[in-house]
A and B are shown apart, each in its own frame.
Chain A
Amino acid sequence: MALRAASRSLALSSRLLFPALLSRSINSPMAFLHSHATSFGMPSSYFNPLSLPLILFLSSLGYKQVPEEQKSKLVGNVFSSVASSYDLMNDLMSVGLHRLWKDRLISKLNPFPGMKHLDVAGGTGDVAFRVLERINSVSHRAMQGTLPDTEEDTQIYVCDINPNMLNVGKKRASERGYKEDSFLSWIQGDAEALSFEDGSMDGYTIAFGIRNVTHIEKALSEAYRFCQILLVSHGFACFRVLKRGGRFLCLELSHMDVPLFKEIYDVYSFSVIPAMGELVAGDRQSYQYLVESVRRFPNQEKFAQMIQEAGFERVEYENLVGGVVAIHSGLKL
């Protein structure tokens, strides 16, 4: 039953090629980029070309034929060297699109005051800050400026395998005026072997990170292990979420499924990106790897199935920009 329902929901969501995000006003960057793409008959950032070199390169150094033990080292080297400019580069290469994708991720997460949330592979705090900001705005709206008790319990745990990324995040947190150790915690950890107690989290997000993980199934089962089965209410503000289970959300570059665009995207991926990599970064090989790693990553349906196999229910996904990026979600009920 559950499986059938889930597959129905998958089939439904696979048809949603262009989510609400894309139907924003014509003045939005995406609308602009879209028209740009069609008028010039060439790939543009609408299809995420510019964001690919960076996000893919950073979040998934290609690992074709790379032994498992070397993969994490390779990825680590890349992230260490780019940590300080990671988010800035994301902005430059995606023309800000990654911000919209992350905003979409947060709106799906629907954070609430008192939440215990874990963001994996989020060293620079990009997702964590958004979660926190959303919680603050929610609680201020609800309580008209007075802090509910539950807000004090809010805790966002940022976990990353790379300490350099975490240091950048910590620094940014203090620049943003977050007091040390309040609301935000920074932990170096491996998505495949997390160091959090079972059932300790209300939510789990991983943005442009899961493709880096050597064994995706392990990371998924870890995510399932410590998501809370049922939230414990700490007062009125949380009443609404009493029955909500721990939520898993994953933002990842995925597989484009719009016929014509797919061809363009392919040409762009396999011709333009490696050339661009050689030109800009002086490293064609790495860019070749990264493009291939995206192709090697399970497609939306398969990945959704893997999430289900890890134990999550109500698994569904949403394609953004025709599948260049997908947000998968699941609940632990």
Chain B
Amino acid sequence: MRRTAALLLRQGGSGGGGIPQVLADVLVCPLSKKPLSRYCEASGSLVSDAIGVSFPIVDGIPYLVPKDGKLMDQDQEKSEDCVAKDSSRSQ
């Protein structure tokens, strides 16, 4: 979770679609309850890799109602625009 946090924090600094670390620390996918493992810069959304669903972030508020989740197709999932969480670590 904290690994996700570093990423999201970085995004948050830009004032765009990112969310702060305190939030990233506790957030999981509302459907799978697994970590929201990636932040997708292109779409400004949080990605749950476990089930291949992305959740939008609007005005800094993560929209994590299950029906807001969008199923991702394979190509999109592998998109380079979406940063893998392991590429960055906090501390």
Contact = CB atoms under 8 A, between A and B. Distances in A.
Partners in one complex: yes
Interface of A: 116, 155, 157, 161, 163, 166-167, 170, 180-181, 185-190, 193-198, 200-201
B26 A197 contact: yes
Residues of A contacting B: mostly: mixed
Given A189-B30, A195-B28, A197-B27, A181 B22 contact: yes
Interface string B60-87: 1111111010000000000000000000
B12 to A, nearest CB: 7
B23 interface: yes
Q: Which 10 A/B pairs are nearest by Cβ-Cβ distance?
A: A195-B64, A195-B30, A181-B20, A193-B30, A200-B26, A188-B63, A185-B23, A189-B64, A190-B65, A196-B26
Contacts of B64: 187-190, 195
A194 B63 CA distance: 11
Given A193-B66, A197-B1, 20 more contacts: A157-B23, A163-B58, A167-B59, A170-B60, A170-B61, A180-B60, A187-B64, A188-B63, A188-B64, A188-B65, A188-B68, A190-B65, A190-B66, A193-B30, A193-B65, A194-B30, A195-B28, A195-B29, A197-B26, A201-B26
A193 B31 contact: yes
Nearest to B31: A193
A108 to B, nearest CB: 23
